[in-house]
A and B are shown apart, each in its own frame.
Chain A
Amino acid sequence: MVKLNIRLTSGGTINQGQVTKSGGKSLPMYTKHVGSIFLDKDDFNKLQVFPMTPVKVRSEFNEVIVYAQISADGPHPGVGFIPRGPWCNLLVDPYTYSSGCPMFKDTPVTVEPADSHEKPLNMPELMKKYYIEKAA
């Protein structure tokens, strides 16, 4: 199966802002807009999937299932973007280099199509699975 090796960057988007500000973090639209990786078109085509197909993104720190989408901000080969939120922050390199601020804009990750039964968790499910259940 194809596996992309890319650099992950993150940040705010207008959709993320709108859902967040209207209190919609537990709604499906938050998962759709924020639980997605936006890939360069050529990188995306290498995966041989349709837009909004679940993919597994893995970094040294964790792995998470998100939807794959084609970036409207390309070309940016070798760079993938996940909007700021709990999905991207499972993957982000937390090291701050004594600055207080982690590497939100540059974490090496791999991207591959997810197994057929896997799909992105919504925010409450994600917090439960990755944090509450892990600590219990």
Chain B
Amino acid sequence: MAKELIKNVVCPFCGSACDDIEVEVEDGKILNVYNACSVGTATFFPQPGVKRFKKPLWREKKTDDFQEIEWETALDKAAEILTNAKRPLMFGWCETSCETMRMGTKVAELTQSIMDSQITHCHGPTFQAIQMVGEPTCTLGEIKNRADVVVYWGCNPLNGHPRHLSRYSSFPRGFFREEGRLGRKLIVVDPRYSDTAKAADHYYKVNLGEDYLLFNALRAVVNGVELEQEEIAGVKKEDIVNLAEMMKKAAFGIVFFGMGLTHSLGKSQNIAGAIQLVQLLNGPSKWSIMPLCGHYNVNGFAQVMSWTAGFPYSVDFCRGAPRYNPGEYTSIDMLQKGLIDAMFVISADPGSHMPQRAVEHMVKIPLIVSEMHPTSTTQLANLILPATVNGIEAAGTCYRMDGVPLHMTKVVDPPKGLFESDTVMMKKLYEKVLARQEED
């Protein structure tokens, strides 16, 4: 078969969801990937020697070796585990399509599970803050065409979202920003002099965990208050005043923020402080704020859960009707308290990304993991369901970090023996659970 160049592919890695990727394919194999950053490219090319799960694997005890089983048996076992559990948790989703999430929500409703995603340990506090104080935001397209002051606060996109600066915020030439990078100020606030800080025009080194103080100091200065201290949160008074002035004079400003705010003390209050600063700046200027979502479909999970259950994440279906209370039904809290008695994980690695107390409980309960390659979580699993890669081996919908929905194209077929998409796998699981419940 001749070589084929597939254009406008959406990169299935980070929340930037770059939709200008070009993939060269021959005989169902990917030869080259163009336009993507190094992390995006790595998504298309597994490391040599890495095992890909192609058949479901099962073990009764976590100390046993895995045995290959048929899909029918595997889905039966998954349905049995989820229906027998009193407090099941269905976790992951941010690297699957919205269609898969929708199917997953149906299974969660039937099995009265908690439906949660990586949002819980990344931007969970962001959603709590948005629910408290709102969110003046915009799209990445507006930023590209208008923004003249770009602030990255508590995040390092040159590592986490490598093309974010070049594609959306700082470097591109926009309709009102013909000079590109020269027409924009790039400001970074972070405790570490990160790669993004090194690329900035102005860098402010805030003390670890003291962002909240700095937001309030900036709000005070924007409100015309004279600061009494010479230094706040590690930043000198004159620097705070200068930063506030730069922000007030912006034609169009944007604050991007990341885990630096959600993972340190203060959590949702840090973000509420950031949002309230932006709201205040909308007096003298025009400002927006946007969380830098890690995975390509973090926003999609919040969208799907909001339109199906009315809440963005950590939705508890145990009573039939959806309930939401961060700190109570959130995965890490539930796991640490030992309240979960079975767990289904899809496209996520809580074994790597959750703290030890939560992982210790995952070892004690039946664990079903849908994955492509070995991860810390598959090491703890009883049942492994091989996954199809959305955006490479299956088409689907994702929401970019700014809430713009994108259609993800299929580039190659999944390996033999796998479902054509995770949505199909979830549908089969749904049917198994339904049949089991009708029998009872």
A25 near B374 with CB under 8 A, answer: yes
- Could you say which residues of chain A place their CB within 8 Å of the CB of B360? 131, 134-135
| With A100-B121, A130-B356 as contacts: A123 and B331 at CB distance below 8 Å | no
- Could you say which residues of chain A place their CB within 8 Å of the CB of B375? 25
- Could you say which residues of chain B place their CB within 8 Å of the CB of A21? 13, 39, 42-43
- Could you say which residues of chain A place their CB within 8 Å of the CB of B260? 11, 105
A73 near B359 with CB under 8 A, answer: no
- B355 partner, pick from A11, A23, A27, A94, beta carbons under 8 A: A94
A105 near B259 with CB under 8 A, answer: yes
What's the minimum C-beta distance from A73 to chain B, rounded to whole angstroms? 4
**How far is B158's CA from A134's CA once the two chains are assembled, in angstroms?**
38
Q: Which residue of A lies closest to B269 (CB)?
A: A99
**How far is B260's CA from A102's CA once the two chains are assembled, in angstroms?**
12
B192 interface hit (Cβ, 8 Å): yes
B121 near A94 with CB under 8 A, answer: no
B372 near A100 with CB under 8 A, answer: no
A48 interface hit (Cβ, 8 Å): no
- B50 partner, pick from A23, A74, A136, beta carbons under 8 A: A23
B121 near A101 with CB under 8 A, answer: yes
- Could you say which residues of chain B place their CB within 8 Å of the CB of A131? 351, 359-360, 362-363, 379-380
- Could you say which residues of chain A place their CB within 8 Å of the CB of B192? 9, 71, 73-74, 76, 79, 81
Give chain A's interface residue range (CB within 8 Å of chain B).
35 or more
B376 near A86 with CB under 8 A, answer: yes
B50 near A24 with CB under 8 A, answer: yes
- Chain B contact residue count (CB 8 A cutoff): 73
- A25 partner, pick from B39, B63, B122, B352, beta carbons under 8 A: B352
A90 interface hit (Cβ, 8 Å): yes
A18 near B357 with CB under 8 A, answer: no
**How far is B258's CA from A84's CA once the two chains are assembled, in angstroms?**
14
**How far is B128's CA from A69's CA once the two chains are assembled, in angstroms?**
36
**How far is B359's CA from A62's CA once the two chains are assembled, in angstroms?**
13
B355 near A102 with CB under 8 A, answer: yes
**How far is B374's CA from A124's CA once the two chains are assembled, in angstroms?**
9
**How far is B354's CA from A92's CA once the two chains are assembled, in angstroms?**
9
Q: A14-B160, A22-B43, A94-B355 are in contact. List 6 more A-B contacts (CB 8 A).
A: A9-B191, A86-B359, A96-B332, A100-B327, A103-B263, A128-B379
